[in-house]
Structure formats: C-alpha cells, structure tokens
Amino acid sequence: MKTHRAKLVAKASLGGDIMDFRFELDRGRFIGLEPGAHVDIHLADDLIRQYSIWDWDHNGTWLNVAVKREREGRGGSIAMHALEEGCEVEIGEPRNHFPLQEIDSYKVLIAGGIGATPIAAMAQFLANRDREFQVIYLVRSKADAAFHPVFSEMNLEDRYILHCSDDAGMLDLVHLMSTLPAGAQVYSCGPEPMLNALLSAAINLRGGTVHFERFAAASDMDHAPKSGFEVEVSSTGAVYPVTENQTILEVLQENGHHIDVGCAEGLCGSCMVDVLEGEVDHRDSILSPEEQATNEFMCVCVSRAASSRLVLKL
Ligand code: FES
C-alpha cells in the first residue's frame, strides 16, 4: 500500500491525555482526505496504527490526527505520544470506511470521548455547506471535553450540545432516537459501551440509519466460538487448513502470501480480500451488515468461514 514520508511539524496537548499531531508532506499530496477517513501511521516495522483525520488542507499537504494516550493499550498511543516535532514517519493514503452519505438528509453526529475526531471533521464539512445537522458530544466531565474548543469555534450555536455525564447523567439515547425527525441519519464514533447502547436504542429511529465506527473491536466477537475450516487460494489452487486457534491471515502469511496488515483487529480494512466461494463468518467491526451480506470480501485478520472451505481471490 502506498505511503508518504511525512514530517511531524506540530504537536500540542488538547487537554487530558489527548495530543494533536500535524503531519506535513515535503512533496506529493494525500489523496482522499474527507470526513470519516483514517490513515495508517507506521510507528515501527510491526507497529502500524490507524487514526481518524480531523483536519487537513485542501491541497492535501498536511493532516491532523488526535490521539489519546492509552496506558492499557497495545503501544500505539504511547509510541505516538513519544514522537517529537521534526521526526518523520510513513503515513498511508487515507481510506474511508465511515463516509458521510446522503449529504442532504438530516444528520445527528454523536461523539463519545476521542471518537470526536471523525465527528469534528463531519461537523465542519456539513457546517461549511450549511446542511441541517446536530452534534452531541458525550464526555464524563468538561475537563475531558478535548474537542469542545474545536466544536465551539465552528459557531454551531444550538446545533451543538456538550453532554457531561457527571453533571447531567447518562444521555437518554432511547428518547433521543425516538424524537429525531423521520429518516434521520445518525453517525457515531465512541467507546464500545456507548455504541452498543446506541445500536440498541436505534430500534426507536423512525426510518433512519445508524452509521458508526468503532475504535476497539467488539468484545462479543472476541469470545465467539471458533472452529476449523479450509482456505483455497484461487491463483494456485493450494488449500490450507485453518485450525480453531489460527486466523486466515496467519495461515496465508505462513504460506508465503503477502497481505497488507494494519490493526489486525478487524478495525481498519487493510487486510480485505475478495471471496470467490464459500460463506464468510464476518467478525470485523467496519463492514456494514449490507456489505457483510454480499459475501464478496472479508477481513482475513479476524473473520472466519461459516462453510467448510473459502476460496479467496489471491
Ligand atoms: S488488518 Fe485491520 S481489518 Fe484486518
């Protein structure tokens, strides 16, 4: 996958454990900078992390990502926070699994914590085009609201609500969903419990759709039972067994197939492969139910087979 050599030209605290990073290109430009897009940042040979972009210039020469330092994380946020201004990293071309659709329909953008990054980009995009929308930013306390100044600067007035649970309790998502205009499109990014509550409440939407992006794999998928199956590589006809303790990605790599890998958690889409035959047991967190139902592609880092064999276009 194409990458750009980019320099960290500015690093600033947004408050709490959240840092903002601006990366700039000396030459070339990023293609595909749009709300909801993310980039792979290569922090070391085996440490590639995905971060949503929240600001960029229209010539494609710089972009900003904001990263929360996760002490219990897998090391990506700690490596990001250790970067110093002036250093250079490889950054992949932006990819978007969380695009704004049907720009003219009424939108409700719900951000939880650091999930504010794609939501801020969407809000700015819609505000610039004078579209109808509302932003709800859910945080524990005002001290945690790192993106509050960003949303405030957009002058959204009554289209912006900062909801602090220490003060106002948990937002009643069931009530919110049932009072939205018919056909409202909900876009949300935030921690898993918030997204799960939102998806449960979405049954009360009147004809609308919830679009969401996780930044951690859905834990119920981690614990779903696994069994063995076979994968066949279409170009060679080679068939490999995948045991219950292996992923398709591991088996393909062990047998010399190059697969792009990012998160290895079903969150980024780097490892997407076309499926020619067989039924997929999708366990990723990025494909929509409609995309999963096509059975035409899969994330081989986490997804498995629901049939005895999958034939992959490799
Ligand atoms: S590597 Fe990220 S979805 Fe598979």
Highest mean pLDDT pick, 9-23, 192-206, 288-302: 9-23
Secondary structure of residue 36 in the 3-state scheme: coil
The model's confidence at residue 226, banded by pLDDT at 50, 70 and 90, is: confident
The domain boundary residue, chosen from 180, 214, 248: 214
Closest CA to 21 of 74, 95, 100, 76: 76
Per-residue CA distances from 10 to 15, 31, 236 (Å): 15, 21, 48
Place of tokens 């990605």: 249
- 138, 108 Cβ separation under 8 angstroms: no
Let me know whether 204 and 119 are in one domain: yes
Domain of residue 239, CATH code? 3.10.20.30
Tell me the average pLDDT across 84-99: 94
Most ligand 1 atoms within 8 A of CB, residue of 48, 265, 312 to mutate: 265
**102 in any annotated domain:** no
Let me know whether 28 and 43 are in one domain: yes
Q: Is 284 in the pocket of ligand 1 (CB under 6 A)?
A: yes
Average predicted confidence (pLDDT) for the chain: 92
Residue 304 lies in domain: 221-312
Let me know whether 9 and 77 are in one domain: yes
pLDDT of residue 22: 98
pLDDT of residue 219: 56
**97 in any annotated domain:** no
User: How close is the Cα of 164 to the center of ligand 1, in Å?
Assistant: 33
Domain of residue 20, CATH code? 2.40.30.10
**98 in any annotated domain:** no
Q: 102: Cβ–Cβ under 8 A, 6 or more apart, which residues?
A: 185
Let me know whether 209 and 240 are in one domain: no
The domain boundary residue, chosen from 31, 66, 92: 92
Place of tokens 């600001």: 55
**99 in any annotated domain:** no
For the segment 115-130, what is each residue's pLDDT rounded down to a tens digit?
999 999 999 999 999 9
Helix (H) or strand (E) holding 175: helix 173-179
| Total domains present in the chain | 3
